[in-house]
Amino acid sequence: MLIEKRIKELGIELPPSSPPGAMYIPVKRLGNALFVSGQVPMKDGKPAYTGKVGKERSIEYAEEGARLCIVNMLAAVKAYLGDLDRVVGIVKLQAFVNSETGFDRQHIVANAASELLYEIFGKAGRHARTAVGTNQLPLDFTVEIEAVIEIREND
């Protein structure tokens, strides 16, 4: 439970994993890879970060939302695996940022998620990443992040 201890040291509490809102599953395993469905910044079952980044919402606001996406992602992975210490490393993130026309700092928003994963997992938290601007996300969320995670077999 070293990873969960580290999460607590950072002052983060993992919420219960949210059930999917449609016909999909939160996590799909293929070999030693977990494909984690897009996670949004929900808190207590409600949208916590909504709106377009640029004029309507600040980069800092979106960064907070991106960090919450990671917290929710880890909650989904823990619910699937039972133990976050089975995570070998984060392979890839794909971040979608609800962006005003002309906003070109999606990589900065995504970096908040990358930094949190590094704080939690150290070098194993380093990953490949794509940051994409979009003109709309479901329920007007500010950001959505999906991931590919390498895991070890259950010992």
Residue 143 sits in a domain whose CATH number is 3.30.1330.40
| Domain that includes residue 51, residue range | 2-151
pLDDT, tens digit (0-9, with 9 covering 90-100), for 13-38: 999 998 888 999 999 999 999 999 99
pLDDT of res. 77: 98
Q: Does this model's pTM top 0.85?
A: yes
The pair of structure tokens assigned to 105 is 């700092």
How far apart (Å, rounded) are the C-alpha atoms in residues 122 and 89?
Answer: 9
Written as one letter, the residue type at 155 is: D
Number of compact structural domains in the chain:
1
Q: Tokens standing for 31?
A: 């070999």
- pLDDT (tens digit, 0 to 9) for every residue of the chain, 155 residues total? 699 999 999 999 999 998 888 999 999 999 999 999 999 999 999 999 999 999 899 999 999 999 999 999 999 999 999 999 999 999 999 999 999 999 999 999 999 999 999 999 999 999 999 999 999 999 999 999 999 999 998 75
Phi and psi for 136 in degrees, rounded to 5?
-165, 145
pLDDT given at position 68: 99
Give the Å distances, CA to CA, from 5 to 1, 28, 34, 78, 83: 6, 25, 22, 13, 11
Alpha carbon distance 153, 61 (integer Å): 37
